[in-house]
Amino acid sequence: MVELFDKIQEAVHAVRTQWDVSPKVGIILGTGLGGFAQEIDVEASLDYEAIPHFPRSTVAGHRGRLLCGRLEGVPILAMEGRFHLYEGYTPKQITLPVRVMRALGADTLIVSNACGGMNPYFREGDIMVIEDHINLMGANPLIGINDERLGPRFPDMSEAYDRKLIARALRVAHRADITAHQGVFVAVSGPCLETRAEYRFLRMIGADVVGMSTVPEVIVAAHCGMRVLGISTITDMCLPDALHPADLNTILAVANAAEPKLRTIVRGVLAEEANA
Amino acid sequence: MPSAASVRVSESAASIRQVWPTTPKIGLILGTGLSQAADRMKVEQSLPFQRIAHFASATALSHAGRVVCGELAGIKTIAMAGRCHLYEGYSYDQVTLPVRVMRALGAEILIVSNASGGLNPGYRGGDIMVMTDHLNFMFGVHRPAGLFSRSAPPSEKCPADTRCAEDPDRPDAWMAPTNSDVRCGWCYDSELIDVSLAIARRDGFRAHRGAYVAVTGPNYETRAEYRMFRRIGGDAVGMSTVPEVLTAASLGMRVLGLSMVTNVALPDSPEKVDPQDVVEWAARAEPHLCRIVEGVAGHLMPDSGKLRLRPS
């Protein structure tokens, strides 16, 4: 893990030569939410290829670059394109960018994703603020030797998602008349979608939505002491008694259509951050 | 042609036999905060892990890293103080090597202990849970070659031949723990469970039957995860033991699993877990664990070369 520390420093150096500002917030944009990037006052933009040790995105809908700039007056870093376990990346590769954001100065992580809704009160296109998660990916980015410079051996996860940020996000959504729920996100590796039996099981164990990302990044954020806000866009409903085949194009379309809501919530949360 | 893995077992066993040419009947694995229990033995030989071929050095908080050979209640015993965990990056094979070595030396019974977080609201910190069952959530630690790429070249800390991704002897190692003959319904020996609970009753300390959930860690669980594990039937959760139990069971050993409940998770009013507290709780419950271990050994007697429980 000692070599991980060095990799982080090399990536940090590459970013700093292009942008010498300390970001407050890191944002990870999930599937179909790349359009959000237009909102940012971009001061520097780096393709992942230009950053040492950053993996490359391979999934449709993920651009593959790091945007550095400001949003609502807050200096931020935004990842346009993220990495998934199902692409064959290791948990450490997926989460390196979070560690780089932390090393550059960010103390808050806003992470978004597309997910399948299982709570029958949810609807396609709704937003869910993540209150808690269940890790069923069979993977953990912290396995290995622990480098105490990065975080503790046994991080506590009883409040991985910051209560105040959750309240703030829900408040912003309410004011803007956006339907936003709060609930539990369960992460699986994918890439196949789930069977009806699996949806019943996931619901039974207490999850509201299911997705194939986010949890590795949140575990690392908790490890290195960042506050986390997680926002899920429900791109398709997965009700086991009325399950229809899901299609990537439809999922992307729903995600794109829901993007203005995400934009409003993140902007509102950042605006309050600037005034906090 | 012996496999590389079995050669490692023979070499480890040989390095112990060289200094202690005795057949142990009991193998003992002492987890977090429980290293002192080895001192209750009549010690004949004590070896640090570094002196034993292929034993990785234990690095987790409070692990001493030594093998203690001697007698417990008159029965020849080999005890391991300090163990390796999957969350440290060790492979399944490395974590379970000591059990294979104990078996190779002749041990028939494995007594394994751990510290765990309580899920059952009837438990209190300091209680002992005698394992009657487990739920193995340690899946995914192994990666079949080709699906997941190696992210870093081997270094001295993790040399190529011990990385978990590929064991050329058993490319399917990730799919099943040891061999296909593990009858998990029989993992935890019911007679040893009964004797353990009887000792607790006799000596007046709290001990329960329960199911242990094994996760890799290293992070502690979220509230949603605690609720899930409780709902699916777990009484306590921890980051070890199951690989050793499955290995012992597949080798025909009788297994007794003892869990020290160090904190009880209350998902509806959670508190942050401090690893140092875990060590302190475990130390407080240690005398009870020792009573059980000594008491169980005291109940065993040799009978035509094998150990069995004395009639009560």
Tell me the pLDDT tens digit for each residue of A91-149: 999 999 999 999 999 999 999 999 999 999 999 999 999 999 999 999 999 999 999 99
Pick from B224, B270, B273: CB nearest A134: B224
Structure token digits, residue B41: 């033995």
Residue B224 sits at the chain A interface (C-beta within 8 Å): yes
* Beta pairing, strands B26-30 & B75-81: parallel
Torsion sign, CA atoms A16, A18, A22, A23: negative
Check whether B58 has a pLDDT greater than 80: no
Instruction: Give the pLDDT of residue B238.
Output: 96
Strands (E) in chain A, as ranges, are 25-29, 41-47, 65-71, 74-80, 108-117, 127-135, 180-187, 209-211, 227-237
Check whether A225 has a pLDDT greater than 90: yes
Check whether B291 has a pLDDT greater than 50: yes
Of A25-34, A212-221, B300-309, give the range with the top mean pLDDT: A212-221
Structure token digits, residue A234: 């429900």
* Beta pairing, strands A25-29 & A74-80: parallel
**Chain A partners of B140 at a C-beta cutoff of 8 Å?**
137-139, 189
The span from the CA of B300 to the CA of B63, in Å, is 28
Check whether B132 has a pLDDT greater than 90: yes
More confident residue, B208 or A34: B208
Check whether B311 has a pLDDT greater than 50: yes
More confident residue, A80 or B39: A80
3-state secondary structure of B50: helix
Least confident of A221-225, A238-242, B117-121, B276-280: B276-280
Structure token digits, residue B99: 């059990």
Pick from B59, B216, B275: CB nearest A140: B216
**Chain B partners of A137 at a C-beta cutoff of 8 Å?**
140
| Contact by Cβ (8 Å): B287, B200 | no
Select from B92, B157, B215, B219 the residue whose CB has the most chain A CBs within 10 Å, as the one to mutate to test that interface. Answer: B219
The span from the CA of A128 to the CA of A209, in Å, is 9
Closest chain B CA to residue A132:
B224
Instruction: Give the pLDDT of residue A58.
Output: 67
Rounded mean pLDDT of A206-226?
98
Check whether B62 has a pLDDT greater than 50: no
User: Any bridge partners for residue B47, and if so which?
Assistant: B67
Rounded mean pLDDT of B129-158?
57
Instruction: Give the pLDDT of residue A138.
Output: 94
Instruction: Give the pLDDT of residue B279.
Output: 75
Instruction: Give the pLDDT of residue A275.
Output: 82
Rounded mean pLDDT of B110-129?
93
Check whether B159 has a pLDDT greater than 50: no
Express each pLDDT in A251-263 by its tens digit. Answer: 889 988 999 999 9
Pick from A90, A135, A204: CB nearest B148: A90
More confident residue, A258 or A34: A258
Rounded mean pLDDT of B152-168?
37
Domains of chain B, start order: 4-144+181-300 (3.40.50.1580)
Averaged confidence pLDDT in chain A: 93
Cβ-defined contact of A88 to B148 (cutoff 8 Å): yes
More confident residue, A190 or B272: A190
Confidence of residue A38 (pLDDT cuts 50, 70, 90): confident
Closest chain B CA to residue A202:
B228
Residue with tokens 């494995």: B110
Select from A130, A158, A218 the residue whose CB has the most chain B CBs within 10 Å, as the one to mutate to test that interface. Answer: A158
Residues whose CB is less than 8 angstroms from the CB of residue B26 and which lie 6 or more positions away in sequence, other chains included: B72, B75, B76, B77, B78, B107, B108, B109, B110, B111, B297, B300, B307
Confidence of residue B245 (pLDDT cuts 50, 70, 90): very high
Q: What is the DSSP letter of A194?
A: P
Residues whose CB is less than 8 angstroms from the CB of residue B159 and which lie 6 or more positions away in sequence, other chains included: none
Structure token digits, residue A208: 């509201």
Q: ∠B31-B139-A60 over CA atoms, to 5°?
A: 135
Pick from B141, B222, B275: CB nearest A160: B222
Check whether A16 has a pLDDT greater than 60: yes
Check whether B155 has a pLDDT greater than 50: no
Q: What is the DSSP letter of B148?
A: B
Q: In the A/B pair of chains, how many CB contacts fall below 8 A?
A: 100
User: Any bridge partners for residue B30, and if so which?
Assistant: B81
Cβ-defined contact of A160 to B221 (cutoff 8 Å): no
What is the model's pTM? Answer: 0.86
Confidence of residue B119 (pLDDT cuts 50, 70, 90): very high
Express each pLDDT in B184-206 by its tens digit. Answer: 556 899 999 999 999 999 999 99
Q: Note which residues in 91-120 of chain B have CB less than 8 A from chain A.
A: none
The span from the CA of B212 to the CA of B260, in Å, is 11
Instruction: Give the pLDDT of residue B270.
Output: 75
Averaged confidence pLDDT in chain B: 81
Report the percent of chain B where pLDDT is more than 90. Answer: 52
Confidence of residue B176 (pLDDT cuts 50, 70, 90): very low
| Contact by Cβ (8 Å): B229, B118 | no
Find, among B245, B152, B249, B171, the residue nearest to B5 by Cα: B171
3-state secondary structure of B91: coil
Cα B260 from chain centroid? 12
Report the percent of chain B where pLDDT is more than 70. Answer: 79
Rounded mean pLDDT of A62-72?
89
Residue with tokens 């203005």: A260
Confidence of residue B137 (pLDDT cuts 50, 70, 90): very high
Count how many Cα atoms sit within 13 Å of the Cα of residue A103 in the half-sphere of its side chain: 22
* Residue A168: its H or E element: helix A163-175
Instruction: Give the pLDDT of residue B64.
Output: 56
CATH level 3 topology of A2-275: Rossmann fold (3.40.50)
Instruction: Give the pLDDT of residue B33.
Output: 58
CA distance B64 to chain A (A): 17
User: Any bridge partners for residue A127, and if so which?
Assistant: A180, A233
Structure token digits, residue A1: 């893990």
* ipTM for the predicted complex: 0.88
